[in-house]
Structure 1
Amino acid sequence: MPIPVIDFSMLNGQGRASTMDQIANGCEEWGFFQLVNHGIPVELLERVKKVSSECYKLEREQNFFNNSTPRKRLKELVEKKSGDKLENIDWEDVFLLSDDSEWPSRTPGFKETMMEYRAQLKELAEKMMEVMDENLGLPKGYIKKAFNGGEGETAFFGTKVSHYPPCPHPEMVTGLRAHTDAGGIILLFQDEQVEGLEILKDGKWIDVQPLPNSIVINTGDQVEVLSNGRYKSVWHRVQAMPDRTRRSIASFYNPSYNATIAPATELLEKENDEIKELDYPRFVFGDYMSIYSELKFLPKEPRFKAVRAV
């Protein structure tokens, strides 16, 4: 069962109504969908692949296999011959890019390429939020304003660069444990040759099929709250692979830590009993993140119940 693939270029033509419906379906029924013809130049995406892979090889790979905690823990478990699976750890090499973080410096062209890419991804995220506003019947700019805590540009835009190296015992460890994303809009540029990403759909794990130069969109917990449950954040995971390295570049447009998140008033006022039953609390995003850091891999409903209301 393939996840939806949507031609984003059709949004500005005669196919606009159909494209809006496809995105609505992707948000409501799937929580994951892929965009093609999204406007980001293929030439830039090719450079992103190149510098990301080179950065991993030059600056990350040796340390992962020589000194990383996942490697050491898995080796210890294999030596015990207990047959147990490695818990509470991911077979993943990962670092974060943000305006304030320290960037890798030894890979030629890395920073320049990724800065250009991040700027375009942020614009795409803001376009997608406007589409969601319209589909939800909210004023244009509603979600962006909520994430920024009002006017201004205080929302957080980060990029997580991950590699999942070949694992000698993939049956004993997960590439990335099942979770929902804490934030807002997630834009994933996944490996087009190495599979491994799965989402939970109707109680079954299904593959997010690799598609060249597509951008995978998924909705995080904060979009679920703002939409009062109409759009769901979806459980997903990454499987470890025995013989190939998987590249994954996930960018996320998240609320400011000081932003107050709550279901949109316009949705609470609608005469829809099904939606009314799914009311979510009002909270400060920073408080939610404090809880999420402890409960990321556990059911999400207790997070919403535990967060301090404002």
Structure 2
Amino acid sequence: MPIPVIDFSKLDGPGRPEAMAQIATGCEEWGFFQLVNHGIPVELLERVKKVSSECYKLEREESFFKSSTPVKLLKELVDKKSGDKLENIDWEDVFLLSDDNEWPPNTIAFKETMTEYRTELKKLAEKLMEAMDENLGIPKGYIKKAFNGGEGEKAFFGTKVSHYPPCPHPEMVSGLRAHTDAGGIILLFQDDEVGGLEILKGGEWIDVQPLPNSIVINTGDQIEVLSNGRYKSVWHRVQALPNGTRRSIASFYNPSYNATIGPATQLIEKENKDINQFGYPKFVFGDYMSIYTEQKFLPKEPRFHAVRFV
């Protein structure tokens, strides 16, 4: 059962109604879909692959296998021969790119390439959010304005660069444990060849098939709240694998920490604006993140209720 694949270029031509309907289906029924013909040049994507792989090889791989916590804990567990599985750790090398962080310094053209990529990806995210606005029947720019906490450019746009190296005992550890994403729109540039990403649909885990130069989209918890439950954030995970190093570059268009998030007023009854019958609250995103940090791998509904705006 492959996840939906949407030709995003149709949004600007006669195929727009079809593309809009596909985006609606992807958001409402899946929470995950892939965009092709999304406007980001293939040449740029090839450079992103190159510098990301070079950065991992040059600056990350040796220390991961020599001194990282996952490698150390897995070795200890194997030596015990208990048959247990590591429950609270991921087989993942990861670092975050944001405007405030120090970026890897030793990989040629890494910063220039990833800065250009992030600029293009942010524009794609904002175009996609406008399509979501239209499909939800809320004013154009509503999601972006909500994430910015009003006017201006205060939303957070971060990029998580991950690699999942070959694991000698993949049955004993997760690549990344099952979770939903805390934020808004997630745009993933995943490996062309090495799989492992799965989503939970209908009680079954299904693969997110690698598709060259596509961008995988998923909706986070804040979109679920803002859409009043019409769009759902979806449980997903990454399996550790015995062969191949999986590259995963996930970018997050998230609300400002000071932004107040709640169901869009157009999507709830006038007499019930603060909380609908399901229980989606209004809250400050920073408060939500404080809880999410502690409960990322636990059910999301208690998080929603724990941050009810008073």
- Give the TM-score taking structure 1 as reference length: 0.98
Matched, 1:280 2:280: yes
1:32 aligns with 32
In 2, Cα distance between equivalents of 1:278 and 1:13: 38
Task: Report percent identity of matched pairs.
Answer: 84
2:253 aligns with 253
Deviation at 1:269, TM superposition (A): 3.0
Deviation at 1:243, TM superposition (A): 1.4
Deviation at 1:278, TM superposition (A): 2.6
Deviation at 1:47, TM superposition (A): 0.2
Equivalent residues in 2 for 1:124-203, closer than 5 Å: 124-203=124-203
Kindly provide the amino acid, as one letter, of the partner of residue 261 in structure 2. Answer: I
Q: Which runs of 4+ in 1 moved over 2 A?
A: 275-279
In 2, Cα distance between equivalents of 1:270 and 1:31: 27
Deviation at 1:148, TM superposition (A): 0.2
Q: Secondary structure at the match of 1:50?
A: helix
Q: Secondary structure at the match of 1:99?
A: coil
Deviation at 1:12, TM superposition (A): 0.9
Deviation at 1:305, TM superposition (A): 1.1
In 2, Cα distance between equivalents of 1:29 and 1:254: 22
Matched, 1:9 2:9: yes
Equivalent residues in 2 for 1:2-151, closer than 5 Å: 2-151=2-151
Kindly provide the amino acid, as one letter, of the partner of residue 309 in structure 2. Answer: A
Query: Pairwise CA RMSD of aligned residues?
Result: 1.2
Q: Secondary structure at the match of 1:183?
A: coil
Deviation at 1:308, TM superposition (A): 4.0
In 1, Cα distance between equivalents of 2:268 and 2:215: 31
Structure 2 gaps of 5+ residues are: none
Kindly provide the amino acid, as one letter, of the partner of residue 103 in structure 2. Answer: W
Equivalent residues in 2 for 1:228-307, closer than 5 Å: 228-269=228-269, 276-307=276-307
Kindly provide the amino acid, as one letter, of the partner of residue 68 in structure 2. Answer: S
Kindly provide the amino acid, as one letter, of the partner of residue 286 in structure 2. Answer: G
In 1, Cα distance between equivalents of 2:185 and 2:243: 31
Q: Secondary structure at the match of 1:90?
A: coil
| 8 Å CA contact 2:279, 2:305 repeated in 1 | no
Q: How many residues align?
A: 307
| 8 Å CA contact 1:223, 1:231 repeated in 2 | yes
Q: Secondary structure at the match of 1:200?
A: strand
Deviation at 1:309, TM superposition (A): 1.4
| 8 Å CA contact 1:186, 1:220 repeated in 2 | yes
Deviations 1:158-194 (A, max 9, x none): 0000000000000000000000000000000000100
| 8 Å CA contact 1:287, 1:308 repeated in 2 | no
Kindly provide the amino acid, as one letter, of the partner of residue 65 in structure 1. Answer: F
Deviation at 1:195, TM superposition (A): 0.5
